[in-house]
Amino acid sequence: MTLTPPATAEAAAARVEPAAVDTIEGRSPWQLAFVRLRHDRVAVGSSAVICLIVLLAVLAPVVAHLLGHGPNQQFRTTGLSAEGIPVGPGSTFLFGTDDLGRDVLVRVLYGARISLLVGVVASGLAVVLGVIIGLAAGYFSGAVDTVLSRFMDVVLSLPYLIFAIALVSLLGPSLMVSVAVIAFFSWASVGRIVRGQVLSIKEKEFVEAARSVGAGHLRIMFVDILPNVLAPTIVYATMLIPLSIVFESTLSFLGIGVLPPTATWGNMLSESIAYYRVAWWFVAFPGLALLITTMAFNLLGDCVRDAFDPRGNRLFVAVED
Amino acid sequence: MSLLEVEDLQVSFSTPDGILRAVRGMSFSVEQGETLGIVGESGSGKSVSTQSIVGLTEGARVSGQARFEGRDLLTMGDRGLRRIRGAEIGMIFQDPLSSLHPHYRVGWQIVEMIRAHEPVSKKQARLRAIELLGLVGIPAPESRVHDYPHQFSGGMRQRAMIAMALALNPKLLIADEPTTALDVTVQAQIITLIKRLQQEFGTAVIMITHDLGVIADIADRVVVMYAGKPMEYADKRTLYHQPHHPYTEGLIGSLPQTGGRGRPLKSIPGMPPSMVQVPRGCAFHPRCGYVMDRCLDAEPPIREVHGGIDHRSACWLPPEAVGRRTDDSALAAQSARRHGGDAVIEPASAAQESTPA
Amino acid sequence: MTRQVAGEPASQVVAEPLLQLTDVVKHFPLRSSGMLAGKREYLRAVDGVSLEVRRGETLGLVGETGCGKSTLARCITRLYELTSGTVSFGSADISRLSARRLRPYRRKMQMVFQDPYGSLNPRRRVGSIIADPFAANGLAKGAERKRKVQELMELVGLNPEHYNRFPAEFSGGQRQRIGLARALALRPEVVVCDEPVSALDVSIQAQIINLLAELQDKLGLTYIFIAHDLSVVRHASDRIAVMYLGRIVEIADTEDLFTRPRHPYTKALLSAAPTPDPDLVNDAERIVLTGEVPSPVRPPSGCRFHPRCPRAQSRCHVEDPVLESKNIDEGDRAVACHFPLADGESMMPELKEPS
C-alpha cells in the first residue's frame, strides 16, 4: 500500500471504516458486565459464599445422615444436660444443641433450605410481577398508569407486618403463604423502579424508530424497552433476596411464618431468645447464618450494580483484543 | 512578546483502556487584540489544549509551556491560576447552563465574580453587572439581573456568560464552541457581539470551533488540529484558498459549496483515530489521499510552506504544493502519477499553478 | 401498490405529488399551570401546514429550534397523531388510519433520526436492529432475513460481518449508516431524514450526505430532509420550505430561495448563516435579527414574524398572511408575507403602506 488516489480511497474507506476494532462479534453489555464481575474480588468472594451456602443447603440431608442427627430428632440424653440446659459445641454436636436437644448444625442447614427457597422464590415472583406491572404502567401512561401507580402506592404504604399477621391468621401459616405474603409486599417497589426507568427509556429515539417500522406495543415493550430496564432490575433483585430472607425470618420469628418444628432461621432465633444467657451457640449460629447469607447477597448486589454502571462503559476506545 | 505563547503542550489522561494522549505537542501564540481560530473535529484535542492551559483539566498530565505575558501558566499553581482565570483570561463555553449556577441569580453571579477579583462594594458591582448585561444586548438589564439562568433563553444565557467573561476586562477571551448549541440567527448575534466587544476593548480571542464558517467570519489566524496535533497554521485567507495540509483540504472540501448541488461532496474517508492508539507516522495517513511511504512511519514536522506569510504545515508534501483544491484535474493527474510511481515526490504541477499570496 | 421502486431510473422521475399535507396542525397540551383551572394552554408546534412532496425529489425543511420541523416530520410519519388536517399518501388519506391499517403505509415511509446514539437500542445487536422492520412485520425469516440484513449493511457501506456487534462499537457516522439501513429495509418510497448529519463531524457529514444522494439515485427515493444547517440543505434539496413558529413562511426551488428570497425571515436566515469563505463574509449585508423566537404557546397576532421583522407594517400586526404565490414570481414558489421582497431588494422597508 503505497499511494491511493483520492477517488478510490473514498469508495474503499466506506467498507474499511471500522479500523480500530477487528472483532466480528461484539460483546453484549451483559457479557461486559459479566467480565467485570469476574474481575471483581468481592463479587467472586460473595458468589463463592452463596454457592457454598446453596451447596450446604442442598446437602443438608447428607450431613444429617452422616452425623446421624435428624433435623427434628431430639437427643434428650446426649443433647441436654442434667438440668435440661442445651449442650455446647463439641465433638457430637458441632454447633451444640437447642432447648429440645436437637442438633443446631443440622437445623441451621435445614433452615438454609427454607431461607433460600423463600428468598429466591418470593423475590422471583416479586420481580416478575413488578416488571410486568411497572412496564405496563410506564409504557401506557394515562389512565393505566394512574390506576397501576396508585395501586403500587397503596401496597407500599400498607403497614406490612400488621397486614401479614392479618393475612396469615386468615389463611393459616404455611410456607406457601409466607412466599405469597413476601412477594405481595415486595413487587411494588420493583414496579416503581421499572416504571421510572421505562418512563425515561420510552422517550428515546430508538423507541420512536421501532414504532416507525411498524412494531406493535408488545414488541416495543418486551424487545426494545425491557432489555434496557433489566440491568437495574437485576441489581434490585439481588438486593431483594436478602430482604426476603430477613422477611421470612421475621415472619417465622413472630410465629406466623413456617410453623415449628420445621427448622428455619427465624424459628430457631425465636426459640433461642430465652436461652441466650446460657446457650450462646443457640442464638449465634442461626443468627450468623442469616447475617452471612444476607451480607453475601448484598455485597454481590453492590458488585452487580458496579458492573452495570455505565461509567465503566462510557469511554469507548476499542482496545480490547 | 506575544500575549499568550504555548509551546509543545502535551496533555494525557489515564483511562482504563490505556493512556489517552489528547494533545500531543501543540504550539501557538496569540497577539494582543487578535483572534486566533482553532479548528478541529471532536476528539482533536482543541478544547483540551486551552482547558489545560488555564488549569481546568483535572486528572490530566500536562507538560510543555504556556506563557501568558511572560508568566508560565503551567507551573504557577492553582492560586495563581485562579487569580488569572476570570480576571485576565475570560472564558465562554458551548453550554452556558453548565457554567452558570442554576440556583443563583444571574446578577448575583456576576457580582460575586467581580468581587472575587476586585475590591468594590456590592452596589458598585451590581451597577457594573447591569451595565455589562446591557452591553451584551440583554434587554431591560435592571430587571433581568434578578433572573435565574433558567429564565433566560439559550442565546441570552450565552450573552450572560459573555458579560461574565468580560466583567473584569480580560486581555484574553477563550471561546470554546460558543455558538454550537445556538440557532443560526442567534449565532450571528453572538458572533457580532464578540466582534464588537473585541473592537471596543481590544481583547484577544481564541475561538475554538469545528465550524469553518465561524472561523471564516471571526478569525485572523487559524490553527487546524487533528489527533491532538497542529496540522496547519495560516491566516484565514491562505487557509481557505491555499491550504497545504490534505486534512485542511479535506475539511474545506467536505463543506457543501454554493453551486455544488447534485455533485458528491469531497468527503474525507474513514474516521478520526482513537487517541489511545494513534497511527504511526503521520496520524492522518490512513485517511489521506496523498499518502506516501514515508508518511507511514515518519511523523512530518511542522515546516514553512509557500502559501502565505507564516504559513506552516505538518505534511511531507513539498512546500510548494499549496492550494490544490482550486484545481481538481491537476490533483487527479498528480495522484494518478504518484499511484503508479513510488514515494519520490517531484515538484507537483499543482504547485506551479498555485499563486503565493 | 407494488411499485418496483428500485428498478426505476432517476431520470424518469416526474413531479407528481407523492405526499400531500393539508392544513396539518399539531398542538401539545401543556400541564395547566397552578391551581387556577383556567383555559388549557397548548404548545402550537405545527399550526396549519400545507405542502406537497413530489415523487423522487428532496424537499428540504429548514427553520430554527422550536419552529416545528421535527414535529411536522413525526406528523407525516404518523409517529404523532394530528390535531387536525390531513396527510395523504398517493390518493389515500392516512391521517386517521388505525395502527393496523396504517401498516402498509408505514412500510413506504421510513425515518432516519438525528441522534446516532439515541436512535439505536444499545442492548441489541446491529443485525437485529436492522432486521427490526422484518421482525415487526413478520417478513423474511431465518437465513433469508440474515442475508437481507447483510445486503442492507453492504448497501450503506458497512461491513456485513459486523452483524453481531453492538451499537456502542460503532462511530457516529457508522451508526447513522445503521439507522439508514434500518430505514431502507422495507424498501420505502419516502425517507424522512430528521437532521441526519447535525450530530456528526464535518468530514463524516459529507460521507453521509453523499451516501444519501447515492441511495436516492439507486433506489429512486423521495426525501424529506430536515436540517438547520443551510449549506447542507442547499446541497441536498431540490426544493426548500422555510418554517417559522409552526408555519411555512416560504417554499421555493433551492436556487430561487437562496438567490432571491422573498420572505424577510428567509433573507435574515440566509444572511445569518456563516459562510465558509473569508472573502464572502460581509458584515454590511448581514441582517442580524433582533430578539428571539417568541413562544409557540402564545404566538404573535397577525404575521408571526412581525415582532422581529424590519419591514413590518401595521397590517402585519393584525392580518395573518397566507402562503401563496405572489405576482412578482414566475415560477413555482409561494411566500406568506404581505410585503415580500423583490429581487435584490434590501430588507429595510422602502414602500409605505398603501392607505
User: Quick one: pLDDT at residue C189?
Assistant: 93
Decide which of 3.40.50.620, 3.40.50.2300, 3.40.50.970, 3.40.50.300 is the CATH code for C17-32+41-108+188-351: 3.40.50.300
Q: Which of A7-11, B256-260, C31-35 has the lowest mean pLDDT?
A: A7-11
Our separate counts of H helices and E strands in chain A read 14, 0
User: Is B139's pLDDT higher than 50?
Assistant: yes
Beta strand C17-29 with B312-313: parallel, antiparallel or unpaired?
Answer: unpaired
Angstrom distance (rounded) from CA B208 to CA B214: 9
Is A204 in Cβ contact with C136 (below 8 Å)? no
pLDDT at A10: 34
| Residue to test with chain C: of B261, B274, B275, B284, most C Cβ within 10 A | B261
To probe the interface with C, which of B198, B210, B258, B287 has the most C CB atoms within 10 Å? B258
Give residue C15's pLDDT: 56
Q: Count CB atoms within 10 A of the CB of residue B14.
A: 11
CB spacing of C272 vs B187 below 8 angstroms: yes
Question: What is residue C2's predicted lDDT score, i.e. its pLDDT?
Answer: 38
Q: By CB neighbour count within 10 A (0-12 exposed, 13-18 middle, 19+ buried), where does B269 fall?
A: buried
CA B68/CA B81 separation, integer angstroms: 11
Q: How far is CA C302 from CA B92, C221, C312, in A?
A: 38, 38, 11
The C-alpha of B337 sits at a distance from chain A's nearest C-alpha, in angstroms, of: 9
Cβ distance A10 to B269 less than 8 Å, yes or no, reads yes
Q: Is the peptide bond before A261 cis (omega within 30 degrees of 0)?
A: yes
Q: Which of A3, A7, A20 minimises the CB distance to B291?
A: A3
Q: pLDDT, tens digit, for every residue of A92-105?
A: 777 777 777 777 78
Separation CA C84–CA C44 (nearest Å): 12
Reported as a single tens digit per residue, the pLDDT across B191-213 is 888 888 888 888 999 999 988 88
Give the angle A193-A199-A202 at the CA atoms, nearest 5°. 130
- Please determine, for residue C164, whether its predicted confidence score (pLDDT) is greater than 50: yes
Q: Where are the domains of chain C?
A: 17-32+41-108+188-351, 123-181
| Chain A nearest-CA residue for B341 | A3
Instruction: Kindly state whether A212 is in contact with chain C, defined as any CB-CB distance less than 8 angstroms.
Output: yes
- What is the distance between the alpha carbons of residues C250 and C333, in angstroms, rounded to a whole number? 8
Q: Which of B34, B40, B54 is nearest to B250 (CA)?
A: B40
Kindly state the DSSP code that residue A92 receives in the 8-state scheme: S
Confidence of residue A20 (pLDDT cuts 50, 70, 90): very low
Distance (Å) of CA A243 to CA A51, A252, A264, A290:
18, 14, 15, 11
Q: How many CB atoms lie within 10 A of CB B304?
A: 12
Closest residue to A315, CB basis, from B17, B292, B343? B17
Mean pLDDT of B60-75: 89
Q: Are B17 and A315 in contact (CB under 8 A)?
A: yes
Contact B215, B230 (CB under 8 A): no
pLDDT for the residue A319: 29
User: Which three cell numbers, joined as nine digits, stand for B315?
Assistant: 505534511
Instruction: Compare all CA atoms of chain B with the CA of A6 and give the residue at the minimum distance.
Output: B289
What tens digit of pLDDT does each residue of C124-145 get? 889 999 999 999 888 888 889 9
Q: Do A5 and B336 touch (CB under 8 A)?
A: yes
Average pLDDT, chain B: 82
Q: Note the pLDDT of residue A53.
A: 86
How far away is chain C from the Cα of A124, in angstroms, using its nearest Cα? 23
Place of cell 464481575: A37
CA–CA separation, B31 and B220 (whole Å): 11
- Taking contacts as CB-CB distances below 8 angstroms, the residues of chain B near C258 are 258
CA-to-CA dists, residue A72 to A75, A173, A264, B171, B256, angstroms? 10, 19, 11, 87, 85
Distance (Å, whole) CA B326 – CA A96: 94
pLDDT at A17: 35
Determine the distance in angstroms separating the CA of A34 from the nearest CA of chain B, rounded to an integer.
Answer: 17
User: Quick one: which of B179, B175, B208 has its CA closest to B42?
Assistant: B208
> pLDDT by residue (tens digit) across C311-336?
888 889 988 898 888 776 666 789 99
Name all domains of chain A by residue range, CATH numbers in brackets.
Answer: 30-78+85-308 (1.10.3720.10)
Interface confidence, given as ipTM, is 0.79
Mutate to test the interface with A, among C76, C117, C123, C159 (most CBs of A within 10 A): C123
Query: How many of the other CB atoms lie within 10 Å of CB of B74?
Result: 17
Task: Give residues 53 to 92 of C whose Cβ lies within 8 Å of A.
Answer: 74, 77, 79
Determine whether the interchain pair A28/C125 forms a contact, defined as Cβ–Cβ distance below 8 Å.
yes
Tell me which of A135 and A41 has the higher pLDDT: A135
* C-alpha to C-alpha distances, B246 to A38, B20, B209, B213, B316, nearest whole angstrom: 46, 25, 19, 19, 10
Decide if C202 and B185 are in contact by the 8 Å CB cutoff: no
Bridge partners for B227 per DSSP: none
pLDDT band at residue B332, thresholds of 50, 70 and 90?
A: very low
pLDDT surpasses 60 at A254: yes
φ/ψ of residue C45, rounded to 5? -65, -45
The per-residue pLDDT for range A72-94, each reduced to its tens digit, is 777 777 767 767 777 777 777 77
* Higher per-residue confidence, A8 vs A130: A130
Q: Residue B347 above 50 pLDDT? A: no
- φ, ψ (nearest 5 deg) of residue C86: -135, 150
Lowest mean pLDDT among A222-226, A309-313, B172-176: A309-313
Interface test with A, best of C155, C169, C184 (most A CBs within 10 A): C169
Chain C residues with CB-CB distance to A211 below 8 A? 79
Mean pLDDT, to the nearest integer, of C274-295? Answer: 73
Q: What is the CA B21 to chain-centroid distance, rounded? A: 18
Going by DSSP bridges, is the β-strand pair B229-235/B312-313 parallel, antiparallel, or unpaired?
Answer: antiparallel
- At residue B237, φ and ψ (nearest 5 deg) are -65, -45
Res. C13 pLDDT band, cuts 50 70 90: very low
* Closest residue to C268, CB basis, from B185, B191, B217: B185
Q: Which residues of B touch C277 (CB under 8 A)?
A: 216, 240
Quick check: A245 and A261 in contact, CB under 8 A? Answer: no
CA–CA min distance C201, chain B (Å): 6
Up-side HSE of residue B198: CA atoms within 13 Å toward CB? Answer: 22
Going by pLDDT thresholds of 50, 70 and 90, the confidence category of residue C37 is: low
Q: Long-range contact list for B326-331, CB < 8 A, 24+ apart?
A: B326/B241, B326/B242, B326/B353, B326/B354, B327/B353, B331/A6
User: Where do we find the cell 515546516?
Assistant: B303
What's the pLDDT score for residue C351?
Answer: 45
pLDDT of res. A4: 33
Query: CA B180 to CA B92: how far, in whole Å?
Result: 12
Q: Is C214 exposed, middle or buried (0-12, 13-18, 19+ CB in 10 A)?
A: middle
- Percentage, residues of chain B above pLDDT 90: 21
Question: How far is it, in rounded angstroms, from Cα C82 to Cα C49?
Answer: 11
What distance, in Å, lies between the first and last C-alpha atoms of chain B? Answer: 26
Grid coordinates in use for C331?
415560477
Q: Is C21 in contact with C52 (CB distance < 8 Å)? A: yes
Altogether, the residues listed in chain A come to a count of 321
How far, in Å, CA of C329 to CA of C325, rounded?
Answer: 7
> SS3 of C120, please?
coil
Q: Which chain C residues are Cβ-neighbours of A204 within 8 angstroms?
A: 118-119
Mean pLDDT, rounded, for C281-306: 79
Return the pLDDT at C192: 94
Alpha-carbon span B228 to B230, nearest angstrom: 7
Cβ contacts from B onto C, under 8 A: 130
Tell me which chain C residues have a C-beta less than 8 angstroms from the C-beta of B189.
288-289
**CB-CB contact of B62 with B50 (8 Å):** no
More confident residue, A63 or B318: B318
CA angle at A52 for the pair A50 and A57, rounded to the nearest 5°: 95
Residue B62 has φ and ψ, to the nearest 5°, of -120, 135
Percent of chain B with pLDDT over 70: 88
Q: Which of A2, A10, A16 sits opposite B267 (nearest CB)?
A: A10
pLDDT of residue B37: 94
Please, are residues B233 and B313 in contact by the beta-carbon 8 Å criterion? Answer: yes
Count Cβ atoms within 10 A of the Cβ of residue C81 and give its class: 0-12 exposed, 13-18 middle, 19 or more buried: exposed
> CA–CA distance from C19 to each of A32, C12, C60, C248 (Å)?
46, 18, 14, 16
Interchain pair C206, B254: CB under 8 A:
yes
What percentage of residues in chain C have a pLDDT greater than 90? 35
Cα–Cα distance measured from residue C262 to residue C274, given in angstroms and rounded to the nearest whole number: 20
Range from A35-44, A71-80, C265-274 carrying the lowest mean pLDDT: A71-80
Cβ neighbours around A7 below 10 Å, total: 13
A141 touches C: beta carbon within 8 Å: no
Do B285 and A5 touch, CB atoms closer than 8 A? Answer: no
pLDDT digits (tens, 9 = 90+) for B109-134: 888 888 888 888 888 889 889 988 88
Question: Is residue A5 within 8 angstroms of chain B, CB to CB?
Answer: yes
Q: Does A68 touch chain C (CB under 8 A)?
A: no
Q: How many CB atoms neighbour CB B187 within 10 A? A: 23
Could A6 and B331 be called an inter-chain contact, meaning their C-beta atoms sit closer than 8 Å?
A: yes
Tell me the chain A residues in contact with residue B289 when contact means C-beta distances shorter than 8 Å.
4-6, 9-10
By percentage, how much of chain A surpasses pLDDT 90?
5
Taking CB atoms and an 8 Å limit, are A317 and B269 in contact across chains? no
Residues 198-217 of C with CB under 8 A from A: 207, 211
Enumerate residues 6+ apart whose C-beta is below 8 A from A190. Answer: A126, A127, A129, A130, A131, A134, A233, A236, A237, A240
- The helix or strand, by DSSP H or E, that contains position A192, with its residue range, turns out to be helix A175-201
End-to-end CA distance of chain A: 24
How far is the alpha carbon of A32 from chain B, nearest alpha carbon, in Å?
14
- Residue A224: pLDDT over 70: yes
Name chain B contacts of C65, Cβ cutoff 8 Å: 154, 183
Mean pLDDT, chain A, rounded, equals 78
Q: Residue B37 forms beta bridges with which residues?
A: B207, B222
Query: What per-residue confidence (pLDDT) applies to C32?
Result: 56
pLDDT value at C78 more than 70: yes
**C222-227: strand order across its sheet:** C109-112, C190-194, C222-227, C58-62, C239-244, C247-253, C334-335
| Contact at CB, B291 and A4, closer than 8 angstroms | yes
Given B267, B289, B293, which is nearest A5 (Cβ)?
B289
Flag whether residue A20 sits within 8 Å of chain B, measured between CB atoms. Answer: yes
**CA distances to B78, B232, B298 from B301, in Å:** 33, 11, 9
Contacts A317 to B, Cβ<8 Å: 15, 17-18, 20, 274-277
CA nearest to C247, candidates C314, C306, C326? C306
pLDDT at position C284, please? 61
